[in-house]
Amino acid sequence: MISNQKIFEKEHHIMAKLRNHENIVHLIGSVASEKHATPYLIMHLFTKGDLSRFLSAAGQEYSEIFKIDAINDILKGMKFVHENNIWHLDLAARNCLVTDEGRIKIGDFGNASFAKRGKKDLPSKVNYRWMPPEVLRKQTITWKTDVWSFGIVIHEICHAGKLPWQDLPILEDLPKAAEIMENEPLPGSNLNSDVDQMMKSCLAKLKKRPSFQKLSLLPLPK
d(C-alpha 54, C-alpha 204), whole Å: 28
| Active-site hit among 90, 108, 146, 194 | 90
Residue 194 bears catalytic tag: no
Beta bridge partners, 105, equal: 97
Q: Which residues fall within 8 angstroms of residue 79, CB to CB, at 6 or more apart?
A: 212, 213, 215, 216
d(C-alpha 9, C-alpha 148), whole Å: 27
Active-site amino acid positions: 90
